[in-house]
Amino acid sequence: MIYQIQTKFRDEPRARGGLIRVREFTMKDAYSFHTSQEDLEAYYDRCYRAYERIYARAGVPEVIAVKSDSGMMGGKVSHEFMLLTDIGEDSIVICPECGFRANMEACDAITENVADETLEPLTEVFTGEAKTIEEVGKYLKVTDEKTCKAVVYQRNADDSYVLIFVRGDKEVNETKLTNYLKAEIHPAVDVENANLAAGNIGPVGLETKATVLFDRSIYGATNLVCGANKAEYHFTGFTPTRDLPEDTEYLDLSKAVEGGVCPNCRKHTLQIRRGIEVGNIFQLGKRYTEAMGMTYDAENGERKNPIMGCYGIGVGRLIASVCEAHHDDYGPIWPITIAPWQVEICALRIDDANVRAAADKLCSELEAAGVEVLYDDRPVSAGVMFSDADLLGAPVRVVISPKTLSRNAFELAARDKSFREDIAIDTAADAVEAKVKELIDAVNAKVPERL
Ligand SMILES: [Zn+2]
């Protein structure tokens, strides 16, 4: 394996969310090279576990791995590491029943249609100005599930049209569509030029040069409302398995939904959550080693292309994510394992010779013991010093002031407000060190074993 931690650049049209989506960022990239798929898989598992350990040690054990879409990177198996948070820009599908989890882009969508007892004949009905599935449903008094809508896309390369028929209450998953077509697409901008009856497009009697696809959400459905391919008319009584050719292919092109069927345990338990992607790992295969002519000499002297894995961590993003998971109204609360300083000494009234002497002594004792210390000896008010300390977010704080000295003590407090106590001056360094160790142990307790 080779790796780098480097500044990267991206021509990002939508920079947002502080450090979450930016044009310049710090990234850890690693690449592994293997002579067999088995070796790659074994190494991939070790990296997967190493990632779980990294996030736990960074103080975000809540980061979870989800199956992801390999997309443009190629390869078959890949995982994203996600921090679940409402400000995240990715949709993640989770089953609390069996532990299944996947990125929305890579999640199988399962629809269970129950057939009506009687099949109505396909009947053309007047629907006037009603065009969207919502309007048509309202006009004919049927729910979205009993409709079949047409969604129109165009290929970016040549603007050619792609038509997808999907159940009215479902949404097209554009990543699945892109992968199926092996082409980049965008929602159609001018359906008028496509020779299609916009708003009245239906799968029966449709004459078009567009690529026509059927989502499996309509498979097994009966008595649906769909467009009749002429202005102001729709069909009722559309039953795909009866009205479409027998060899029609029903593809998985729609998005999983809240309360939908879990692809793993088949219960209606899916939940959709938001998350920030903080890392990813891919089994790449030979795509790049073949393209770049990278070879090694095999035992029999043959020249072969190694099989690659790749492993990324967005370091800047990770900082933003940790902040997201650990903060209050006053600023970040850094986990002690990644805090810029483990301890901040707040010396109030530094003009007082006793305060100065006590704070200097504690600072040098802690530094000698290997504790990372920030020493605030500015002549500022307690209010200013404490609000700055909250913003810097060091997890442990020691306050030394004429008031604490009059109690023959220092005050030891946690940034997360979980404790606040007086400690004896004589043994202060030991007490602070013990508290630092306690916090480190609490983080490490959540780190999974090495594989
Ligand atoms: Zn499940």
At which of 251, 274, 306 does a domain end? Answer: 251
pLDDT digits (tens, 9 = 90+) for 186-213: 999 877 777 777 788 999 988 888 999 9
Where among 251, 272, 297 does a domain terminate? 251
CATH number at residue 318: 3.30.930.10
CA distances from 381 to 223, 399, 415 (A): 75, 13, 19
Q: How far is the CA of 98 from the centre of ligand 1 (A)?
A: 4
Domain CATH number, residue 191? 3.90.960.10
What is the distance in A from the centroid of ligand 1 to the CA of 94?
A: 8
Share of the chain above pLDDT 70, in %: 99
Query: Does residue 112 lie within any of the structural domains?
Result: no
Q: How far apart are CA 121 and CA 83, in angstroms?
A: 50
Q: Could you read off the pLDDT of 3-62 as tens digits, one per residue?
A: 999 999 988 777 777 777 788 889 999 999 999 999 999 999 999 999 999 999 998 888
Range of the domain at 396: 332-444
Residues 406, 297 share a domain: no
What is the total count of domains within the chain? 3
Q: Do 284 and 373 sit in the same domain of this protein?
A: no
Cα 321 to Cα 21, 66, 201: the distances in Å are 12, 17, 45
Centre of ligand 1 from the C-alpha of residue 257, in Å: 13
Is the pLDDT at 75 greater than 80, yes or no? no
Expressed in angstroms and rounded, the spacing between residue 261 Cα and the centre of ligand 1 is 8
Return the CATH number at 347. 3.40.50.800
Is the residue at 115 inside a domain? no
Distance 174 CA to ligand 1 centre (A): 24
Question: In angstroms, what is the span from residue 285 Cα to ligand 1's centroid?
Answer: 29
Q: State the distance from the centre of ligand 1 to the C-alpha of 274, rounded, in angstroms.
A: 18
- Regarding whether 346 and 414 lie in a shared domain, the answer is yes
List, for residues 344-363, the tens digit of each pLDDT value: 999 999 999 999 999 999 99
Q: What is the pLDDT of residues 402-424, one digit of tens each?
A: 999 999 999 999 999 999 999 99
Q: Are residues 361 and 436 in the same domain?
A: yes
Whether 347 and 436 map to the same domain: the answer is yes
Query: What spacing in Å lies between the alpha carbon of 268 and ligand 1's midpoint?
Result: 8
On whether both 136 and 239 belong to a single domain, the answer is: yes
Q: How far is the CA of 264 from the centre of ligand 1 (A)?
A: 5
- Specify whether 190 is located in the same domain as 274: no
Is the Cβ–Cβ distance between 6 and 27 less than 8 Å? yes
222 C-alpha to center of ligand 1: Å?
27
Ligand 1 centroid to Cα of residue 269, in Å, is 7
Cα–Cα distance measured from residue 295 to residue 306, given in angstroms and rounded to the nearest whole number: 6
426 in a structural domain: yes
288 inside domain: yes
Last residue of a domain, one of 222, 251, 280: 251
114 CA → ligand 1 middle, Å: 21
Is the CB of residue 425 less than 8 Å from the CB of residue 408? yes
Span from the CA of 63 to the centroid of ligand 1 (angstroms)? 19
